[in-house]
Amino acid sequence: MLGAPNAGKSTLLNTLIGQKIAIVTPKAQTTRSRMLGITIEGDAQIIFIDVPGIFQAKRAFEQAMVQSAWSARADADVILWMHDATKNPSEETEAMLTRLMDAGKPTALVLNKVDALANKRSLLKQIEWFSERLKFDAHFMISARSGEGVGDITAYVQRHMPAGPWLYPEDQMTDAPMRVLAAELTREQCFFKLRDELPYSLHVETERYEPREDGSVAIHQVIVVENERQKMIVLGKSGQMLKAIGTGARTAISRELDLQAHVFLFVKVREDWKSDPAIRQHLGL
Ligand SMILES: Nc1nc2c(ncn2[C@@H]2O[C@H](COP(=O)(O)OP(=O)(O)OP(=O)(O)O)[C@@H](O)[C@H]2O)c(=O)[nH]1
Ligand SMILES: [Mg+2]
């Protein structure tokens, strides 16, 4: 699944799998690393790959994110190019399509957010615009949020799956371990609770994930920021902000991962975490 930031790729992944795997926020560039959503359709195991959005990135960290999105093409049998139909395609869209051309793989156009369109006629214009620039194998008009039209995508992808053994156990929905999913859910809370650029300046990592005898899980996480000023904002007055993030994270983790979570958050300053090789490797960048 490729497309510009905010197109709705992560929302679609979650709808396709029927489980929240990737975090979703109203802000662009939410997804930082590849997430797999695994599902069984008939006798095929389908692995959907959600990646960061593609745009003309200027800073090294964002460029690495975009690069990781493009490189996912190599592993895919089918490419879904996703576009937010509430926005007109731009010159930047055109530049991305040019690059998409050399993938040489079946590629479908997915126009998303049709629920938010007052006038559906603009969809036909968009299909025309895209078809003039790239030969799409199929096109879909969907609402990733409501699920409208999503079943057709699964059926299309299933038809293109190569024969071969399944790569994952039947009941597995993602390759990400619980501690990674939990860290992402806390990062999502940071997007909801913190304003402006701050969510982009932080990284969340689960340091300890400890099941307790009573069946609950103690999750210790660190929120890494770039400077003292950011740390003050994340902590908030008398620690109120961090507490609110922690409460939101506990609720989200308990609900989405179906466990009784206790979440302990710490804030750490690490000026250059974006160039830290360990963090980069962890994010697959
Ligand atoms: N109305 C409407 N909103 C949608 C739909 N799908 C996604 N959204 C919203 O669009 C915003 C972005 O969704 P994401 O799924 O995070 O988009 P993304 O493509 O993964 O974005 P990046 O991770 O930044 O690349 C969120 O506010 C979603 O709720 C849809 O079908 N209809
Ligand atoms: Mg995303």
- pLDDT tens figures, 178-203: 999 999 999 999 999 999 999 999 99
Q: How much is the pLDDT for 223?
A: 98
122-179, pLDDT tens digit by residue? 999 999 999 999 999 999 999 999 999 999 999 999 999 999 999 999 999 999 999 9
**Closest listed residue to residue 262, CA positions, set 212, 222, 225:** 212
Query: How many other β-carbons are positioned within 10 Å of the β-carbon of residue 104?
Result: 8
Q: How much is the pLDDT for 285?
A: 87
β pairing state of 79-84 and 2-3: parallel
Q: How far apart are CA 37 and CA 162, in angstroms?
A: 18
Give the ligand 1 atom nearest the CA of 29: 24
pTM of the model: 0.97
**Ligand 1, atom 10: closest residue by C-alpha:** 8
**Least distant ligand from the CA of 53:** 1
Residue 217, both tokens: 């899980």
Rg (CA), the chain: 20
CB 115 within 8 A of CB 143: yes
Sign of CA dihedral 138, 144, 149, 155: positive
Q: How far apart are CA 261 and CA 254, in angstroms?
A: 5
113 CA to middle of ligand 1, Å? 8
Cα first-last separation, the chain? 17
**Ligand 1, atom 24: closest residue by C-alpha:** 29
- Sketch out the chain's domains with CATH numbers: 2-159 (3.40.50.300), 178-283 (3.30.300.20)
Residue 117 has pLDDT above 90, yes or no: yes
21-79, pLDDT tens digit by residue? 999 999 999 999 999 999 999 999 999 999 999 999 999 999 999 999 999 999 999 99
**Closest listed residue to residue 65, CA positions, set 86, 48, 51:** 51
Residue the block writes with tokens 């400077």: 227
Cβ-proximal residues to 254 (8 Å cutoff; 6+ apart), any chain: 260, 261
46 CA to middle of ligand 1, Å? 22
Query: Coil, strand or helix: which one is 230?
Result: helix
CB 82 within 8 A of CB 31: no
CB 253 within 8 A of CB 261: yes
Residue 205 has pLDDT above 90, yes or no: yes
**Least distant ligand from the CA of 6:** 1
Ligand 2 ion: nearby residues, β-carbon < 5 Å: 10, 30-31
44-59, pLDDT tens digit by residue? 999 999 999 999 999 9
**Closest listed residue to residue 205, CA positions, set 232, 191, 185:** 185
8 CA to middle of ligand 2, Å? 7
**Least distant ligand from the CA of 52:** 1
Amino acid identity for residue 107 in this structure: T
Residue 102 has pLDDT above 80, yes or no: no
Which residues have any ligand 1 atom within 6 Å of their CB?
A: 3, 5-11, 24-26, 28-31, 52-53, 112-113, 115-116, 143-145
Measured in whole angstroms, how far is the alpha carbon of residue 26 from the centre of its chain? 12
Residue the block writes with tokens 């395609």: 89
Q: How much is the pLDDT for 119?
A: 86
Q: How far apart are CA 129 and CA 227, in angstroms?
A: 45
Alpha-helix runs per DSSP H in the chain? 9-17, 60-71, 91-100, 121-133, 150-159, 178-193, 228-235, 240-256, 277-283
Q: How far apart are CA 62 and CA 73, in angstroms?
A: 18
**Ligand 1, atom 9: closest residue by C-alpha:** 8
